[in-house]
Amino acid sequence: MRSTQARHEEYFSFLRSVSLLKDLPEEKLAKIIDCLEIDYFDKGEYIIREGEEGNTFFIIAKGEVSVTQTTEGFTEPQEIKTLRVGDYFGEKALISEDVRSANIIAKENDTQCLVVDRDNFNEMVGTYEELQAYLREYVEELSLSDERRNAV
Ligand code: WNU
């Protein structure tokens, strides 16, 4: 079995490559790693369902996911984007204190996500004004694009 040390180093360099986290101090990243869970999904599996309550933030460590949303005039949810390794999702429900606003579906077998719960997310983001401001702005933009595409 891989040592805790090796696991730590592996995640450390991965998290450093995630744009959102690149400027976080070492001890902050280390703390996140200690609290991480890894979830595995098969192709077609829902990671997040629109309208459900959610208390977690995800970072893709392996695979690809599809973001879909129910929009006016369509019977099926429409694909709005694809996210890949190093991308993240699930921040909106945490920041807006709202239900999940889109579906996230694994596009490949053995898609792996690092999962951060609400408390650790707040700890990670809350203490960094820049990070918080960046995400708040991004979430506002998401709400606007939801309106433009007539999401329901
Ligand atoms: C979009 N509209 C909505 C994405 C990921 C991270 C950032 C965009 Cl910073 P949630 C569903 C999640 C949501 C977002 C993600 O889906 N999402 C979108 C949209 O156009 N959500 N409403 N694009 S990918 C993405 C920016 O993370 O968070 O908790 O669950 O509502």
Please say whether the dihedral angle defined by the alpha carbons of residues 112, 118, 119 and 123, taken in this order, is positive or negative: positive
Tens digit of each residue's pLDDT (9 = 90 or more) over 4-33: 888 889 999 999 999 999 989 999 999 999
Ligand 1 centroid – CA 1 distance (Å): 36
**What per-residue confidence (pLDDT) applies to 53?**
98
**Pocket probe mutation, ligand 1, options 50, 116, 132, 142, max atoms within 8 Å of Cβ:** 142
Domains in the chain and their CATH numbers? 38-148 (2.60.120.10)
Six-digit token pair at 18? 């995630």
Classify the C-alpha dihedral 2-18-41-28 as positive or negative: positive
Cα 43 to ligand 1 centre (Å): 19
124 Rama class: left (phi>0) / alpha (psi -120 to 50) / beta: alpha
* Residue 1 pLDDT > 80: no
The whole-number pLDDT of residue 5 equals 87
Cβ–ligand 1 contact at 59 (below 6 Å): no
Own/partner pairs for 24-27, CB < 8 Å, 24+ apart? 24/124, 24/128, 24/131
For the complex shown, is ipTM > 0.95? yes
Query: Residue 61 has what pLDDT?
Result: 97
Are 54 and 93 within 8 A, CB to CB? Answer: yes
Taking only the tens place, the pLDDT of each residue in 50-101 is 999 999 999 999 999 999 999 999 999 999 999 999 999 999 999 999 999 9
State both tokens at 48: 């997040």
Q: Given ligand 1 and candidates 92, 94, 143, 152, which is best to mutate, with the most ligand atoms within 8 Å of its CB? A: 92
Minimum CA distance residue for ligand 1 atom 6 = 89
6 φ, ψ (degrees, to nearest 5): -65, -40
pLDDT of residue 7: 85
